[in-house]
Amino acid sequence: MIERKPLVLGNKTYKDITNDICEPVETMPGKTWWSMFFSAKALLLFYLFTIGMIVSTGMGLLGVNHPVGWGTMIVTFVFWIGIGHAGTLISAILFLFRQKWRTSVARSAEAMTVFAVMTAGIFPLIHTGRPWFDFWLFPYPNQRGPLWVNFRSPLLWDVFAVSTYATVSMVFWYVGLVPDFATLRDRAKSGLRRKIYGALSLGWRGTTRHWSHYEMVYMLLAGLSTPLVLSVHTIVSFDFAVSSLPGWHTTIFPPYFVAGAIFSGFGMVVTLLTLVRIGFPKFKDYITIDHMEAMNKIIMATGMMVGYAYGSEFFIAWYSGVPYEKYAFVNRAFGPYWWSYWIMVSCNVFIPQIFWFKWARRSIPVMFIVSIFVNIGMWFERFVITVTSLHRDYLPSNWGMYAWSRWDAFVLIGSFGMFLTLFLLYLRVFPAVSIAEVKPVLHVGKKGEHHG
């Protein structure tokens, strides 16, 4: 029998677990957190300013033009949506597959999902020419006929996909938090604190009946979220695949996008959790190196899937015999945007290969650097798909370049401000590891204890 490795290190008792995990929520943050928070918040304010400028002045501030109608905003939208996938995958799919190691990373991964989807959700709204009319994208009863939305448009599917995903993942996350909120409520010393967490915990008393309902709801939500993991990015990929543009019009897009999303999502989870481990040293016992290694394996696996998709795209471009398609792919790799293509391939396919080595999989600096490369690579993947396909399509007379402006950089960087602000706040007000879920796996891998 293969010996199981313990999922929680350091000979913890149940009380230790509660204390360790509640500590960041119950103590005043240190200088590091404050400085990080204020930087992130400054960035967020800058982001709001940028959005304000773009909305009030016009989309023309960005580099989007004719023929490249979509640019940084859509690229970054897909980037953030992709990031969101890891959370749901870990919390829902791994839950259904009874992967016990997920328990300690699920909470933060889910939080990341929620924040990433929130960050992403802003982009389609502000990237329109007239954002004040964005509500027209929703099918609501109106006095114009009524005039409905176009159900044939992938952008509309996108509206539904993203809003459903945002709702379900938020509910899922919240339901998981309920028992932990109750713990925080019970430990609260001040009245206000007790009231807030009391309200958040929805009157949780930890009775058997509560647990029984809770587990059922959690499983049902996991079941509901699982298809969403696949569907959201599939539908996001339809934005491209359903069009007639060479380089977009590809049947491989749905699985390719999903694999890419999981890849990028795990990349971001690793980035954040390495930082969390540094910020809260006690968490190292819960988010162990074994957890990180498991995620690195997934990164390598999905990275190779994405690599396969890159290769397969080229094969089909040649095999299809369509000259436009052929040109689009040759242009990707060797056209004026060759650098973006090779950044993408290097970051997504070549660099994660280092995880074949166990030492690399278990080295925090290595995995941190690789995960950053994965993030960069996946942003460039969307850039390559969006921009290099658009900039040279059917009629050479239309060919042009993306007119990258400083505002493009501002929205891209600014969006990190929003994401990081939310994530840093989360670390201080929510238990960053699921107390209720870690306790049942405390015994796993412990010698002399043989529970189920």
Partner 1 sequence: MEIKTDYWKSLDEKYQTPEFLQTLENEFLSSPLKSEDGKDGLARRQFMKLMGASVALTAAACVRRPVQKIIPYNKRPGDLIVGLPNYYASAYFDGTEGISVRIKTREGRPLFVAGLNDNPLNGRGLSARASAHLLSLYDPDRVQKPTINSINPKNRKDSISVGATWEKLDTRVVAKLKEGGVGILTTSNPSPASQELLHKFTVAVGGSRYTWDPLPTDSVRKAQQLSYGTDLVPAYHFDKAAYIVSIDGDFLGTYLTPVKFTNDFAKARNPDGNMARLVSFHSIPSLTTLNADDNYPIRASHQLAVACSLLKAVAKAKDGSISEAVSANALSDEQLGLNSGTIDYVAKNLVSHAGQGIVISGGMVTESANSVALQVVINSLNSLLGNEGKTITTQGAARWRNGSSQDLLELVKDIESGKVTTLIVHDINPMYAFPAEFKFSEVVQKLKGLITTTNWIDETATLADVIAPCGHPMENWNEYEFATGLKTIQQPTIRPINDTRSFEDSLIAWAKAFGKPITSSENYHDHLKADVVKALGSEKNWFDYLQSGSRGSVSSGSGRSFNSSAYSALKDAKKSGNDIELVLYPKAALLDGALANVSWLQELPDPVTKTVWDNYLTVSPQFAKEKHLKMGSMVEIEVSGQKLNVPVYVMPGQNSHVVGLAVGYGRTKGMNLAKNIGVNAYTLAKVDNEGVRYSGLPVKVQKIMGTYELAITQGHNSMEGRQIIAESSLKNYKEGTDPVHRHKVFSIWDKHKYDGNKWGMAIDLNTCTGCSACMVACYSENNIPVVGKKYVLQGREMHWIRIDRYYKGDESAPDAVFQPVMCQHCENAPCETVCPVLATVHSDEGLNDMVYNRCVGTRYCSNNCPYKVRRFNWFYYDSHYRREPLEMALNPDVTVRTRGVMEKCTFCVQRIKDAKSIAKVENRPLQDGEIKTACQEACPTGVIVFGDLNDKESAVSKMFEAQRQYTLLEEVNAAPRVRYMAKIRNTDRIMSSPHHEDHTEKHSNGHANKEEHT
Q: Which residues bind partner 1 (CB under 8 A)?
A: 57-60, 63-70, 127-130, 133-134, 136-137, 147-150, 152-156, 159, 239, 242-245, 323-324, 327, 330, 336, 390, 392-403
SS3 annotation, the chain: CCCCCCCCCCCCCHHHHHHHHHHHHHCCCCHHHHHHHHHHHHHHHHHHHHHHHHHHHCHHHCCCCCCCCCCHHHHHHHHHHHHCHHHHHHHHHHHHCCCHHHHHHHHHHHHHHHHHHHHHHHHHHHCCCCHHHHHHHCCCCCCCCCCCCCCCCHHHHHHHHHHHHHHHHHHHHHHHHHHHHHHHHHHCCCHHHHHHHHHHCCCCCCCHHHHHHHHHHHHHHHHHHHHHHHHHHHHHHHHHHCCCCCCCCCCCHHHHHHHHHHHHHHHHHHHHHHHHHHHCHHHHHCCCHHHHHHHHHHHHHHHHHHHHHHHHHHHHHHHHCCHHHHHHHHHHHHCCCHHHHHHHHHHHHHHHHHHHCHHHHCCHHHHHHHHHHHHHHHHHHHHHHHHHHHHCCCCHHHCCCCCCCHHHHHHHHHHHHHHHHHHHHHHHHCCCCCHHHHHHHCCCCCCCCCCC
Q: Minimum Å distance from CB 348 to partner 1?
A: 24
Q: Minimum Å distance from CB 129 to partner 1?
A: 2
Which CB, 155 or 376, lies closer to partner 1?
155
User: Cβ(205)–Cβ(212) under 8 Å?
Assistant: no
Q: Minimum Å distance from CB 64 to partner 1?
A: 7
Q: Minimum Å distance from CB 227 to partner 1?
A: 23
Q: Minimum Å distance from CB 183 to partner 1?
A: 44
Which CB, 239 or 293, lies closer to partner 1?
239
Q: Minimum Å distance from CB 333 to partner 1?
A: 14
Which CB, 121 or 265, lies closer to partner 1?
121
Which CB, 223 or 336, lies closer to partner 1?
336
Which CB, 197 or 407, lies closer to partner 1?
407
Name the one residue in this structure whose structure tokens are 């992403």. Answer: 120
Q: Minimum Å distance from CB 9 to partner 1?
A: 50
Which CB, 124 or 307, lies closer to partner 1?
124
User: Is the peptide bond prior to 131 cis by the omega test (within 30 degrees of 0)?
Assistant: no
Rounded CA-CA distance 76/124 in Å is 10
User: Cβ(434)–Cβ(104) under 8 Å?
Assistant: yes
Which CB, 19 or 128, lies closer to partner 1?
128
61 half-sphere exposure, CB direction, 13 A CA radius: 21
Rounded CA-CA distance 367/324 in Å is 39
Q: Minimum Å distance from CB 122 to partner 1?
A: 15
Q: Minimum Å distance from CB 341 to partner 1?
A: 17
Which CB, 150 or 212, lies closer to partner 1?
150
Q: Minimum Å distance from CB 71 to partner 1?
A: 10
Which CB, 124 or 267, lies closer to partner 1?
124
Which CB, 59 or 349, lies closer to partner 1?
59
